[in-house]
Amino acid sequence: MSYRAMNKNKRDGVPPNDEWLTPPALVALQISMIPICSQFSYFNEQGELITPLWFDPFKNTGVYYDSYPTAVDKDYTEILEGRDFFAYDKKVDVICSNPPYSMWDKIYDKTISLEPKVVSFVMSTGNLTRCRMNKMKKAGYVLTKMHRFDVKHPSKEQKSRGYKSWMTSLIVQWEKGVCPNIKAEFTWDETPYPFVEKSVEYHREIKEWEEVRHNVNEMMSEAGYPIY
């Protein structure tokens, strides 16, 4: 759906359709971007050995939840199962998901309250605003990685299974407890992601995305981050 169509729906009072299925190949890439140390057990301030908790706030079909590393503890919420993300109150280590785009401000506020060390979200390019970047910075998070991608239009059969057409989108990763002067990594895929069941069938060609580096550096500068 285009921005024009979404804005028209908003003006006309059409409720947003936030159920957007994510290609498994894209999920695999997103999880691979998260630091490997996020899978390792660690000692808390009380000297207890803790297994990291990875949390999927919008489970839906389970494409994220089922793909999380086997060495970690997992939890999820899914409103279709009566498990409300906004009522969840456990502290988590990693949040990795594709949230509904109509509730971004509420999602950021709730995410920050759960104090994850790593936050990895899929979002459209227009959803990364200065206000939201400032919100994350004030909460102690640093933007460490961003990946731009497109998704192939689904076939008729895939549409029947719930897949829909995407806009150009981003994987955005925030981390807490890292050096605020860290150089963020910006990459992009030339080839759109297909709706395949096995991510191993897809070969990615990742390149530096100079345009987004320039635009985001401007926003980072305004937010007080160093630019590169």
Q: Tens digit of pLDDT for each residue in 12-34?
A: 443 444 566 788 888 999 999 99
Residue 2 has pLDDT above 50, yes or no: no
Query: In the prediction, which pLDDT does 201 show?
Result: 35
Least confident of 132-141, 156-165, 219-228: 219-228
More confident residue, 10 or 76: 76
Query: In the prediction, which pLDDT does 216 show?
Result: 55
Query: In the prediction, which pLDDT does 103 show?
Result: 93
Least confident of 159-163, 192-196, 216-220: 216-220
Query: In the prediction, which pLDDT does 228 show?
Result: 41
Q: What is the mean pLDDT of residues 6-14?
A: 41
Query: In the prediction, which pLDDT does 207 show?
Result: 43
Residue 125 has pLDDT above 80, yes or no: yes
Query: In the prediction, which pLDDT does 222 show?
Result: 64
| CATH number corresponding to 15-222 | 3.40.50
At 72, the pLDDT band (50, 70, 90 cuts) reads: very high
Sheet architecture: strand order including 94-97: 73-76, 53-56, 94-97, 118-124, 169-176, 141-149, 185-189, 206-208
CB 78 within 8 A of CB 58: yes
**Cβ-based neighbours of 63, under 8 Å, separated by 6 or more:** 21, 22, 24, 27
Q: What is the mean pLDDT of residues 127-145?
A: 94
Query: In the prediction, which pLDDT does 219 show?
Result: 59
Percent of the chain at pLDDT exceeding 90: 54
Percent of the chain at pLDDT exceeding 70: 76
145 to 182, 184, 198: CA distances (angstroms): 10, 5, 24
* Sign of CA pseudo-dihedral 92, 97, 99, 104: positive
Token pair recorded at residue 32: 């691979």
